[in-house]
Amino acid sequence: MCKLKFKYIFDESFNKQSIGMEIQQFLGLLTFLFIFTAGFWLMLFLLTFVVPYWLTGNLIERWKENKAAKKASK
């Protein structure tokens, strides 16, 4: 009985592709995961640092322009 199981495991009809994914599929998965995570961290960086920095700078610049316009009108 043990010989039958051993013979079944190493039978010629055993397909290597049924074990797991091929190297191209694995590289595609790694590429997808890299692009997805890089995009995630880039979006997180943009939304937490770049956009608030840009908005704050814009508001300060507008405030300075309004202050200078009021000073010029007086």
Average pLDDT over residues 57-66: 96
The helix/strand/coil state of 20 is coil
The model's pTM is: 0.56
pLDDT tens digit sequence for 27-57: 999 999 999 999 999 999 999 999 999 999 9
Alpha helices by DSSP H, the chain: 2-9, 23-45, 51-73
The encoded tokens of residue 15 equal 């397909």
The predicted pLDDT at position 3 comes to 54
Domain boundaries, the chain: 43-74
pLDDT tens digit sequence for 6-16: 555 555 555 55
The predicted pLDDT at position 31 comes to 97
